[in-house]
Amino acid sequence: MRKNHSMLKVIFSTMAAALFITSGVLPQSPRLVQANAGYVENLGPVTAKDVVYQIITDRFYDGDTSNNIPDGSNPSYFDGTGGNLNHFQGGDWQGIIEKIPYLKNMGITAVWITAPYANREDATVSGNNSWVAYHGYHVRNYFATNEHFGTLNTFKELRDELHANGIKLVIDFVTNHTSDTFVDGKLYEPDKLATGEYAIGSDGKPYDANGDGIVENLVADPNNDYNGWFHHYGNRADSQTDVWSYRNKDLANLADFSQENAQVVSYLESAVAYWTRLGVDGIRHDATLHLNPAFVRGLMDATNSIQTITNFGEFFIGRPSSKYSEYISFPTRTGVHNLDFEFYNAATSTFGSFSTTMSDFGNMLLYTSADYDYENQTVTFLDNHDVSRFGYIQPNQKPYNAALAVLLTSRGIPNIYYGTEQYINPGSSSNDAGRVFMQTSAGFNENTTAYKVIGELSELRQNNNAVAYGTTKVLYSSNDVIVFERQFYDEYVVVAVNRQPDQSFTINNIKTSLPAGNYTDTLNGLLYGDSVNVSASAAGNVINSLHLQGGEVNVWSYDMGNDSTSAPRIGDVINTMGRAGQKVYISGQGLGGSPVVSFGTVQATVLSATDTNIVAVVPGGAVAGMNNITVTNNGAASNAFKYNVLTADQNQVIFHVNAQTNYGENVYVVGSIPELGSWNPDKSTEAMLCPEYPHWYLPVSVPVGTTFEFKFIKKDANGNVVWESTSNRVFTSSSDSTGVVNTQTYNWNQN
């Protein structure tokens, strides 16, 4: 590939625009406004107690045929039969509302829907083929709803109906790009009123408030980008797997936002804030592998400054992956947790293709428990819109059901892709083929075994803390059988699975932490399970003999009951990163009464407390950096939970240095504030980016309006550190909440 010798010029021009905008040289766009200050209180963040159901809105159920072809939409791009999956099918928010009983009866406690805002309407055309943005990933207008799904009024009705039924609402959200640069890529917004609010009428639709004859206004255009809103490095080739290319080049020709531009940061934060104020309970962030982590941390902080929601994202990796270390550290660096692709890859190869063993799957459960800092907040799945349907990979219902049972009893927040409960098999490995119109292709049968399994195990997840918060221990594994145990103090769940549909196995002398006694299968034989007897022995409690027929799954549960005099126990805390004044949701047991919540040694204000949940506020006096959250109740203290207290509101500083390195070395930033590791090289920033050697640069999330000291260091693969020998460098971040400033380009070891 021809080397782009103008790359540094483009980098500096884009970053210079960000610096000038921050410092006031260029005026802020008059359309950059925050949504109204008030907000609708949500139901609460999504937790490991929940079971999420992912819906591609257009592909679920058509509850309102009047929005199938909205004004201005080309009728030829509507199908409605499930025959042409490149075109709209008619699923909408009213359809989801009508199917809430179906969801609730299945045990679903959270629904993840397609991005709710307006997308590019024009199709991508190639020869006789055309594709529309039914999926929601080609944003056109963040502040207007996608009229194929309904109006803002319908969205609010969906939110309210879900919440009334105890179901949380998660929306997909894209901040990486707009749409295809070659087709459109433009970004618009509605007119604004004098109050600063967007002009949305009583019918829930944007209207022409200023009388200029149009209802939306151009904000940015990648093909006429005079304010530097987009990166312009071209499309990333499959062979370009370096970090810089993922974060700066276009994904599938989609116009890539420059998240190092202060205007862009401000606009995207205001867009996410708009929907957060509408009372959503969570956001699934698209393409987090491609995002600037410093921007992501600021975005997470902006949402949680309004109200605490669950943030998770799509950091897409294979297995094995050279990006695994970046993947596992992303939640700790940004506060946005991962869709668990490591779990997905292991589950599909173990229960789907049978290309790996049950022992391999058990090993994955163990090493991810060690590698993930917050394993209970990763979102696990068997399939989704970006991968093959599990029903295509594994059409046999016995191992299919076994995989589903394991998903629902493993650590993390389980996500069910719409129609998984109906055993959808599109007959193709294509992820597009898997995006079927459920109304015409599968229906809504509440009597499938998969539907019932989800319901039973969702109830278990609600009732036994071991499933939601427990540690994982593999009691036995072989090529085809696994027995694993979840434990949260005095609560236990043991799961025994035979993936082979037509082979039986007998296992003897399985040691377990279950107390001695007889246990009934939680699934009541739904997957051929039976009761089991646990005997006491000198070597510990043991299942003397376990016979598993083909496809058998057993789930045995034990809960000694809550002892109100015992110490409180923290299972999880959402979120895992935040600053003074933001709410945290603490889950566990023994939390009711008059608990004292502490961040380190600093006491927090408790807003509410029940036996299983506390809502508290991050205290102003908490020391910035990693804190141990503890709960003290009735004189007894809980276990500790790691929480990262941010110094203050976050914005970006982009560090620059010219540095020569040896093979295997990278350059990092370390400094006097927790965001720079507090001078600990093991807690420095991630490696700086080097698209044109020897110039290194890196956007870093830092506290606003703060003067700090720093140095550049070099580290090799063995962890050896080389420090600059010069005096500490000094820099001050922007005082603007969404500011972005560049340092000068320093030279290594020169002040």
* Residue 314 among the catalytic residues: yes
Q: Is residue 569 a contact partner of residue 489, using CB atoms and an 8 Å limit?
A: yes
Inter-residue contact 736 to 22 (CB < 8 Å): yes
Is-contact 555 405, C-beta < 8 A?
A: yes
Give the pairing of strands 187-190 and 216-220.
antiparallel
Rounded-to-10 torsion of CA 605, 608, 609, 612: -110
Beta strands 729-732 and 707-715 are: antiparallel
Strands (E), 16-154: 52-55, 110-113, 117-119, 124-126, 129-131, 139-145
Q: Which helix (H) or strand (E) holds 492?
A: strand 491-498
Asked if 513 and 450 count as a contact pair (C-beta separation under 8 A), the reply is: no
Helix (H) or strand (E) holding 311: strand 310-313
360's enclosing H/E stretch is: helix 358-371
User: What number of residues does the chain have?
Assistant: 751
Dihedral sign, CA of 459, 460, 462, 467? negative
For helices 397-409 and 449-463, the axis angle rounded to 10 degrees is 20
Quickly count: other Cβ atoms within 10 Å of residue 547's Cβ.
Answer: 12
Q: Please tell me the distance from the alpha carbon of residue 267 to that of residue 681, in angstroms, as a whole number.
A: 34
Catalytic residue (choose from 172, 184, 281, 314): 314
In whole angstroms, what is the distance from residue 88 CA to residue 133 CA? 8
Return d(Cα 719, Cα 742) in angstroms, integer. 28
Q: Which residues contact 693 (CB under 8 A, 6 or more apart)?
A: none
Catalytic residue among 79, 250, 286, 480: 286
- As a whole number of angstroms, the distance between CA 375 and CA 411 comes to 7
Q: Which two tokens stand for residue 128?
A: 């006789």
Going through 590-688 in order, the beta strands assigned E by DSSP cover 596-599, 602-603, 605-609, 613-617, 625-633, 636-637, 641-645, 650-658, 666-671
User: What is the CA angle 466-469-471, rounded to 5?
Assistant: 75
The enclosing H or E element of 283 equals strand 282-285
Q: Taking the alpha carbons of 656, 657, 658, 659 in that order, is the dihedral positive or negative?
A: negative
Locate all alpha helices (DSSP H) within 562-637, ordered by sequence: none
510 three-state secondary structure: strand
CA 741 from centre of chain: 28
Cα 286 from Cα 314, distance rounded (Å): 5
Tokens, residue 374: 């917050």
Q: Which residues are known to be catalytic? A: 286, 314
